[in-house]
Amino acid sequence: MTAGAYAQVLTPVKWAYAAKKTSATEVTVLLKATIDAGWHIYSQNVKDGGPIKTSFTFAKSKDYTLVGKAIEPKPVTKYEDAFKMNVSYFEKEVVFTQKLN
């Protein structure tokens, strides 16, 4: 008898990005997450002791500098018993924005 195990790689979040020039010296990068039903991603502002927060890393370049950190819309916030705290997250779709000079 032969037994096998099969693993499936889940990709419940699909990312897309675009950039738009917002002034003579500034560009805004739009980072869009499309999230499958039943899944969510956490806010960038989750407190210590909670789940892993969303974060962005941009490659260093002499061609641009970051202006502040990525901005997110207002998340859903609910108490999660697993973390014994209020946790902020996004469902379905979210667009983060990052300004560059």
Residue 61 maps to a domain:
yes
Q: In the prediction, which pLDDT does 17 show? A: 96
In whole angstroms, what is the distance from residue 54 CA to residue 68 CA? 16
Residue 76 maps to a domain:
yes
Task: Catalogue the long-range contacts made by 56-59 (C-beta closer than 8 Å, 24 or more residues apart).
Answer: 56/31, 56/96, 56/98, 58/98
- Give tens-digit pLDDT for 78-95: 999 999 999 999 999 999
Residue 41 maps to a domain:
yes
Residue 45 maps to a domain:
yes
Q: In the prediction, which pLDDT does 2 show? A: 58
Contact 78, 86 (CB under 8 A): yes
Structurally, the chain folds into a number of domains equal to 1
Contact 50, 42 (CB under 8 A): yes
In whole angstroms, what is the distance from residue 5 CA to residue 64 CA? 47
- DSSP 8-state class, residue 86: E
Q: What is the domain range of residue 42?
A: 13-100
- Give tens-digit pLDDT for 5-61: 666 778 999 999 999 999 999 999 999 999 999 999 999 999 999 999 999 999 999
Residue 7 maps to a domain:
no
Q: In the prediction, which pLDDT does 9 show? A: 72
Q: In the prediction, which pLDDT does 1 show? A: 54
Q: In the prediction, which pLDDT does 4 show? A: 61
Q: In the prediction, which pLDDT does 81 show? A: 96
Residue 47 maps to a domain:
yes
Q: CA 92, 93, 95 angle in degrees (round to 5)? A: 165
